[in-house]
Structure 1
Amino acid sequence: MYRYFIINKPYDMVSQFVSPDKVHLLGELDYDFPEGIHAVGRLDNHSEGLLILTTNKKITRLLFESEQPHKRTYLVMVSKIMSQEALEKLRNGVTIRIKGGVDYVTPPCDVQIVEKPANVGPRAHDLKEYLPRTWITITLTEGKFHQVRKMTAAVGHQTKRLIRISIEDLLLGDLQPGQVKEMGEEEIFRLLNIADVEV
């Protein structure tokens, strides 16, 4: 029987259980994970938030390699105050450089300013609080390498924090950094909108 977990991946931890490099790993979380567990998709070590862990190897294919696109929403803190013009550029698509040095225009996406994000505590080694910044949410159905960071850079704003808060209807909610929650297969498939797919 497969097992499914969601975690709030902390900053400065890679989405892996083993690595040849000297990095913080998922196995350092205070939880007794089962054999054969792996992360579905990745968040780089500087990104935080919702990460799915499972013993079911087919989930990655169902979620990220299916013809049906799946939405991922990120809460992003960027440097400086973002103008309406920059916001519109992000919404309509910007040109970023992707693998192989190719220019790529991002498809239209949902971007919203967030006045006061809920459930976001300070990071252990957080940024200088007095500097101007803007919080936005950005919802994508694709995930090119460092896509969000490249998109905000394309409109003149450096990404300072990046927190994945949802995948489809599966929400990070008030799960704190490093916390783990086990979920049933039926519930997680329903929330990820892959419930009707044979596994």
Structure 2
Amino acid sequence: MARLILFNKPFGVLSQFTDRGSPTERATLSDFITVKGVYPAGRLDRDSEGLLLLTDDGRLQARIADPRFKLPKTYLVQVEGDPQEPELERLRLGVRLKDGLTLPAEALRIDAPDLWPRDPPIRVRQSIPDSWLKITLREGRNRQVRRMTAAVGLPTLRLVRWSIGDWTLAGIAPGQFADITA
């Protein structure tokens, strides 16, 4: 059986076990994951939080990370602005980015989720409202959610990956992990 780790990656942590060549020491997976022989199945940017899967099975790792399998990834996204139906519809139809048109996404406006506080907190501007979206993608381009929301005029303030396929963060605190068999 393959080993699978569901890790709630905190803000500011690299999605790798080492930080070679950096003049400053940045937090890595090795600061949180003591399990040997597991590797990330995909990535999550340093300034993003949430679910990162790690496994000891190369085939499972490829199935999770490879865009050909179109495994849905759901994000809770705090954006600057007041999203209306036209912006949401653009996300649902696909957004033209520098590297081409994205696949259609599921995009819903949601109430603020009950999440842990982010450290450091997001910047707040009193004159500009912020809102929450739930966005599900079936592809994984570099910084895709951030680029999509910016393209429709809603810059991302906070990005939390909540689920990958059927695996979710439910019950896993930031910096903690659940070790399961897949």
TM-score calculated relative to the size of structure 1: 0.83
Match in the other structure for 2:62: 61
Give deviations 1:74-112, integer Å, cap 9, x for gaps.
1101111112211111111111113xxxxx111222101
Match in the other structure for 1:43: 44
SS of the residue corresponding to residue 27 of structure 1 reads helix
Q: 1:149 aligns with which of 137, 146, 151?
A: 146
Match in the other structure for 2:80: 79
SS of the residue corresponding to residue 59 of structure 1 reads helix
Task: Give the AA of the match of 1:125.
Answer: P
Greater Cα offset, 104-113 or 7-16 = 104-113
2 CA distance for matches of 1:66 and 1:156?
26
Structure 1 pair 39–68 and aligned structure 2 pair: CA distance change class (3 A)? closer
Aligned-residue offset at 1:129: 4.7
Match in the other structure for 2:173: 176
Q: For structure 1, which runs of at least 5 residues remain unmatched after alignment? A: 99-103, 186-199
SS of the residue corresponding to residue 173 of structure 1 reads coil
2 CA distance for matches of 1:11 and 1:109?
24
2 CA distance for matches of 1:64 and 1:33?
20
Task: Give the AA of the match of 1:40.
Answer: A
2 CA distance for matches of 1:151 and 1:105?
10
Q: How do 1:1-199 residues align onto structure 2 when only pairs under 5 Å count?
A: 2-20=2-20, 21=22, 22-29=25-32, 31-34=33-36, 36-65=37-66, 67-98=68-99, 104-118=100-114, 120-129=115-124, 131=126, 132-185=129-182
Aligned-residue offset at 1:58: 2.2
RMSD of aligned alpha carbons: 1.6
SS of the residue corresponding to residue 122 of structure 2 reads coil
1 CA distance for matches of 2:44 and 2:167?
16
1 CA distance for matches of 2:121 and 2:153?
21
Task: Give the AA of the match of 2:31.
Answer: E
Aligned-residue offset at 1:128: 3.8
SS of the residue corresponding to residue 69 of structure 2 reads coil
Task: Give the AA of the match of 1:32.
Answer: T
Give deviations 1:119-143, integer Å, cap 9, x for gaps.
x122121124564101001101001
